[in-house]
Amino acid sequence: MANTTLQEQNELFPIFLKLKQLRLLLVGGGYVGMEKLQAVISNSPSAIITLVASQISEEIKELTKAYSTITLVEKPYHITDLDNIDIIIAAINDPVVSRQVAMDAKSKGILVNAADKPDLCDFYLGAVVQKGNLKIAISTNGKSPTIAKRLKEVLNETLPDEIDTLLNSMQNIRNKMSGDFTEKVRQLNELTKNLSQNQ
């Protein structure tokens, strides 16, 4: 008898946010806070970040000296910290505070990520591969961060560093093309068809 059960799918919608146009609140000043802060600034070094924590580690204080868009506030989290905030990461090793941040965020309609609490998250931070202007985000739907990490390593090794030169060349070609959108797509598809074929 055929298996009639539907295979589970990853229904997360992938987007790339312009964090330098949004206001990010990061709650947590310890190891988890540092990990999430590094993830954000490695992908978006111009991000506007307010980091709130009862205690902020010396490592975070040292790291943020180089970023004028990061504000450190050493005090306990309060719901008023959500004022004028667009997106939140709760990066604190305290499940009670983490849940409170998530509930407060939801009550105000603000998207939230709570570290290691997938049931409280509106979005996840995935593994990211970056080669110049090319950025690939990997999601395992929370099933296995280890697999995401391994895929990141494979893609980092597989994709040549010259891919950024190719992207810039393609942009120059596209900018010089004439015709309507459909014609430009046809021409670009013709130019790039060899990229998807086995050599």
pLDDT digits over 25-46, tens only? 999 999 999 999 999 999 999 9
Greatest mean pLDDT range, 66-70, 156-160, 192-196: 66-70
- Percent of residues, the chain, with pLDDT higher than 90: 60
The residue length of the chain stands at 199
Distances (CA, A) of 55 to 31, 52, 105, 130: 11, 9, 22, 32
Answer yes or no: is pLDDT of 1 > 50: no
Reading the block at residue 145, the tokens are 């961060």
Instruction: Please report how many Cα atoms fall inside a 13 Å half-sphere around the Cα of residue 152, on the Cβ side.
Output: 17
The model carries a pTM of 0.81
**Which one is predicted more confidently, 187 or 53?**
53
Report, as an integer, the average pLDDT of 2-27. Answer: 84
CA distances 186 to 3, 34, 192, 194, Å, are 41, 46, 10, 14
* Other C-beta atoms lying within 10 Å of the C-beta of residue 168: 12
- The amino acid sitting at 193 is K
88: nearest Cα among 51, 130, 38:
51
Name the CATH superfamily housing domain 19-124.
NAD(P)-binding Rossmann-like Domain (3.40.50.720)
* Angle 191-196-197 from CA coordinates, rounded to 5°: 100
The encoded tokens of residue 64 equal 């943020």
Question: Nearest to residue 105, comparing CAs of 52, 178, 61?
Answer: 52
Pairing relationship of beta strands 127-131 and 87-90 according to DSSP bridges: unpaired
